[in-house]
């Protein structure tokens, strides 16, 4: 049981599930997916979990020394010495390769290629860049949003406007989400040289303002699906969908504004937990208008 728990920590289970959730919803939103095939949904989920788990495993292997020095990550299996670097790498390969194969074999190689590209960006570009410059957050937001394109490509066999809208949604969402986390864990992060906030001085008004700006940008992006015909407001489900999205955006904006006014960890934590709720609500609301 302890070994299983270690592997669940290695893949960052809750984070991986959230990532794959966005991929599955994007797949279901693709116009060519007109009925739910639960076998295909489970295959997409499995392939996504394997690739995401592989990327997270590499992240923990590469950052084992810094993880060991931070309170929030010191108990991770590689950092704590319960798992060797070799075992971590072996798991990453054994998980990543079959994950890409599942996506390519059962869906298409466009989705598989995007998944492999996402893994590479997260593990080998974003991870080491965190100690170089805060642009790491921008770079990390790309693989963080690619699951939406992967799901869309898996369901639509090509990239089109709808997929890019979902990509933009998840891309912009990551900034207030991640900056809230970086605000809360600033002392831990700065102690190991991570540069993750937009201001070099750490949690500042500038950082809070950036959070507000990106939260505001989410509103028009989440309304685009209704303008391009991806979603409809011609029935009760569509109206409820639109109302949920508007309310979710207002909720996110207000939490970000609260952070700007209060400038404290408590408000940052509210933005973080609010963002955790925001994304599934918006994605499920978009799906509601289609089913």
Residues of the chain below pLDDT 70:
199
Q: Is 153 exposed, middle or buried (0-12, 13-18, 19+ CB in 10 A)?
A: buried
Superfamily of the domain at 1-159: UbiA prenyltransferase (1.10.357.140)
Domains in the chain: boundaries: 1-159, 160-291
- Cβ atoms within 10 Å of 42's Cβ, excluding its own: 11
Report how far residue 76's alpha carbon sits from residue 82's, in angstroms, rounded to the nearest whole number. Answer: 8
Tell me, what's the pLDDT at 274? 95
Residue closest to 76 by CA, chosen among 98, 106, 56: 56
> Are the beta carbons of 92 and 127 closer than 8 angstroms?
no
Tell me, what's the pLDDT at 223? 95
> Are the beta carbons of 126 and 62 closer than 8 angstroms?
no
DSSP 198: S
Q: How far apart are the first and last CA of the chain?
A: 40
Tell me, what's the pLDDT at 105? 97
Tell me, what's the pLDDT at 130? 86
Domain 160-291 has CATH 1.20.120: yes
Tell me, what's the pLDDT at 281? 96
**Tokens matching residue 267:** 């408000």
Tell me, what's the pLDDT at 87? 95
Tell me, what's the pLDDT at 50? 97
């Amino acid at each position: 049981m302890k070994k299983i728990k270690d592997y669940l920590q290695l893949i960052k289970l809750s984070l991986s599930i959230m990532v794959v959730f966005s991929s599955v919803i994007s797949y279901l939103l693709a116009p060519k997916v007109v009925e739910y095939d639960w076998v295909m949904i489970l295959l997409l989920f499995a392939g996504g979990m394997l690739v995401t788990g592989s990327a997270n495993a590499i992240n923990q292997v590469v950052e084992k020394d810094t993880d060991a020095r931070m309170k929030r990550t010191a108990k991770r299996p590689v950092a704590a010495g319960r798992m060797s670097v070799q075992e971590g790498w072996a798991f990453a390969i054994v998980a990543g390769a079959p994950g890409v194969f599942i996506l390519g074999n059962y869906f298409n190689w466009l989705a598989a290629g995007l998944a492999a590209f996402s893994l590479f960006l997260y593990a080998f570009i974003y991870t080491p860049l965190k100690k170089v410059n805060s642009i790491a957050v921008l770079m990390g937001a790309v693989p963080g949003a690619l699951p939406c394109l992967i799901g869309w490509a898996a369901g639509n066999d090509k990239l089109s406007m709808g997929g890019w809208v979902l990509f933009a949604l998840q891309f912009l969402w990551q900034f207030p989400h991640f900056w809230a986390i970086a605000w809360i864990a600033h002392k831990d992060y700065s102690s190991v040289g991570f540069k993750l906030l937009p201001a070099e001085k750490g949690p500042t008004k500038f950082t809070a303002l950036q959070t507000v700006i990106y939260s505001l940008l989410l509103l028009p992006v989440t309304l685009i699906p209704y303008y391009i015909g991806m979603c409809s407001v011609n029935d009760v489900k569509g109206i409820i969908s639109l109302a949920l999205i508007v309310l979710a955006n207002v909720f996110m904006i207000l939490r970000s504004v609260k952070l700007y006014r209060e400038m404290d960890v408590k408000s940052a934590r509210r933005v973080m937990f609010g963002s955790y709720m925001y994304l599934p609500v918006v994605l499920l609301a978009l799906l509601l208008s289609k089913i």
